[in-house]
């Protein structure tokens, strides 16, 4: 029975993903001595903390059977709003944080209501949201705004030592904390389980008396919140606000979730898997940097290729699953 669970078609992608990560990291360690330094590992988290945060929100959306293409531009909008308020209005970090998080939630609420109440297709609504948020960035300013506000720089440069030559940044800590909250929400709350139920079969969820409409809207609010929080981390990481920040991040977030074992048809996924997905994207990037001869666009091709392989895998598993079911 335990073996069956291990090879359960639904968790198989996660098993493959984790093995793939180990393999890639192992390959790096064999090829480059520096890979063995714990800091390189921690840097994966530091350099991709914002993506972890955004991808966790995306994971919930995809599990519910939806999609959110607006996350990248909400990240950009957050950096822009933060930078403007900090530089031109001299707000400090702690005044800005609640405001931008609220903006993110409102964005999600707006899109969630359009999707749920007016029965519009999620991808087209969030596509509109993508336009809107990017557009608002450019309305604020078309230039990059550097942040010199001390409350930002202090946080951005703050390092927490982990042992001797290893340290982690604020964004790494926030990412792990949010991941923990995500796991809690997904597996130990009524909200999370309802999200899974909706993704599994929305009609059944309704007939079982679950609060489908409310939950679906909340999922987009959550995604908006995560995007805004991710945006805050990007602001700290870049120490600037720019309308072109996080271009295409929605794709990275979707890829991370899918590679992490979240089924695009909804209903199945692991928040922890998304972390592994992000780490794989990070390792690929690191490998390409270490190699030096490979150009950065190989990252995009590799991500696309991985996305393809995992989508194909999902389809095949889905088909074989159906076959087993009819045989039964």
Partner 1 sequence: MNLQSISKGRLFWPLVALFLMVMVNFWFNPDFFSIKVVNNGLYGSVIDILNRAAPVMLIAMGMTLVIATRGIDISVGATVAISGAIAAALIGGSLEIKDGVQTYVSNTPMSLAILAALGVGLLCGLWNGFLVAGVGMQPIIATLILMVAGRGIAQLITGGQIVTIYYEPFFFFGNGFFLGVPFAIYLVAAVAVVLLLLVHRTALGLFVQAVGLNPTASRFSGISARALIFWVYGFCGVTAAVAGVIIASNVKSADGNNAGLMMELDAILAVALGGTSLDGGRFSLIGTLIGALILQTLSYAIYSLGVPPEINLVVKAIVVFVVCLIQSEALRNMLFQRRTRVEGQA
Partner 2 sequence: MAQEPILEMHRIHKRFPGVVALKNVGIRLFPGEVHALMGQNGAGKSTLIKVLTGVEKPDGGDIRLAGKKIQPGSVLEAQDLGISTVYQEVNLCPNLSVAENIYIGRFPTRGPLIDWPLMQERARSALKALNLSVDVSLPLFSYPVAVQQMVAIARALSTEAQVLILDEPTSSLDEDEVGRLFEALRQLKSKGIAILFVTHFLDQTYAISDRITVLRNGEFEGEYMAADLPRLQLINKMVGREIDESAFGRQEGASNADSSGRRPFLATQRLGRAGAMQPIDLDVRCGEVLGLGGLLGSGRTETARMLFGIDPADTGSLSIEGVPVRVNTPHRAIQNGLAFCPEDRKTEGIVADLSIRENIILALQAKRGVFRFLSKKRQSAVAEDCIKQLGIKVADAESPISQLSGGNQQKAMLARWLATEPKMLILDEPTRGIDVAAKLEIMDLVKEQCRKGLAILFISSEMPEVLRVSDRIAVLRDRQKIGELAGNDADEQKVFRMIAGVDS
Which residues of the chain form contacts with partner 2 (CB under 8 A)?
1, 4-5, 8, 10, 184, 187-190, 193-194, 196-197, 199-201, 203-205, 207-210, 267-268, 321, 325-328
Among 158, 167, 290, 298, binds partner 1 (CB under 8 A): 298
Using rule CB under 8 A, residue 311 touches partner 1: yes
Nearest approach, Cβ of residue 295 and partner 1 (Å): 5
| Member of 248, 291, 321, 322 binding partner 1 (CB under 8 A) | 248
Q: Answer yes or no whether residue 321 interacts with partner 1 by CB under 8 A.
A: no
47/202 with CB nearer partner 2: 202
Our CB check for partner 2 shows the closer of 119 and 325 to be 325
Least Å distance, CB 153 to partner 1, is 28
| 117 is a site residue for partner 1 (CB under 8 A) | yes
Q: Which residues pair with 328 in a beta bridge?
A: none
Among 75, 76, 105, 130, binds partner 1 (CB under 8 A): 130
Length of the chain: 328
Q: Which of partner 2, partner 1, none interacts with 78 (beta carbon under 5 to 8 A by kind)? A: none
Q: Which is nearer to partner 2, 108 or 199 (CB)?
A: 199
Least spacing, CB of residue 141 vs partner 1, in Å: 9
Q: Is 299 in the site for partner 1 (CB under 8 A)?
A: yes
* Max CA distance (Å), the chain: 67
- Residue closer to partner 2 by CB (options 162, 316) is 316
Residues making contact with partner 1 (CB under 8 A): 67, 114, 117-121, 123-125, 127-132, 134-136, 138-139, 142, 248, 251, 254-255, 264-265, 295-305, 307-308, 311-312, 315
């Amino acid at each position: 029975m335990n073996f069956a669970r291990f090879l359960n078609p639904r968790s198989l992608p996660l098993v493959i993903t984790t093995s793939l990560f180990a393999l890639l990291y192992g390959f790096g360690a064999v090829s480059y001595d520096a890979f063995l330094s714990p800091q390189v590992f921690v840097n994966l988290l530091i350099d991709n903390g914002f993506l972890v945060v955004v991808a966790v929100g995306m994971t919930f959306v995809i599990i519910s059977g939806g999609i959110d293409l607006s996350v990248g531009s909400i990240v950009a909008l957050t950096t822009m709003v933060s930078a403007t308020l900090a530089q031109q209005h001299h707000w400090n970090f702690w005044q800005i944080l609640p405001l931008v998080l609220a903006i993110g939630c409102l964005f999600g609420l707006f899109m969630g209501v359009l999707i749920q109440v007016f029965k519009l297709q999620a991808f087209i609504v969030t596509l509109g949201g993508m336009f809107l948020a990017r557009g608002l960035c450019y309305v604020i300013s078309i230039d990059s705004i550097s942040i010199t506000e001390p409350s930002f720089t202090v946080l951005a440069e703050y390092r927490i030592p982990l042992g001797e030559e290893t340290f982690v940044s604020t964004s790494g800590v926030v990412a792990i904390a949010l991941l923990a909250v995500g796991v809690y929400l997904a597996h130990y709350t009524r909200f999370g389980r309802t999200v899974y139920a909706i993704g599994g079969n929305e009609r059944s969820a309704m007939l079982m008396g679950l609060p489908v409409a409310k939950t679906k809207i909340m999922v987009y609010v959550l995604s908006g919140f995560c995007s805004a929080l991710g945006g805050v981390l990007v602001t700290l990481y870049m120490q600037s606000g720019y309308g072109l920040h996080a271009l295409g991040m929605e794709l990275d977030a979707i890829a991370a979730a899918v590679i992490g074992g979240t089924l695009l048809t909804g209903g199945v996924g692991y928040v922890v898997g998304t972390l592994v997905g992000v780490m794989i994207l990070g390792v690929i990037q690191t490998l390409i940097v270490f190699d030096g001869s490979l150009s950065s666009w190989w990252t995009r091709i590799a991500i696309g290729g991985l996305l393809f392989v995992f989508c194909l895998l999902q389809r095949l598993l889905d088909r074989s699953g159906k076959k087993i079911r009819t045989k039964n």
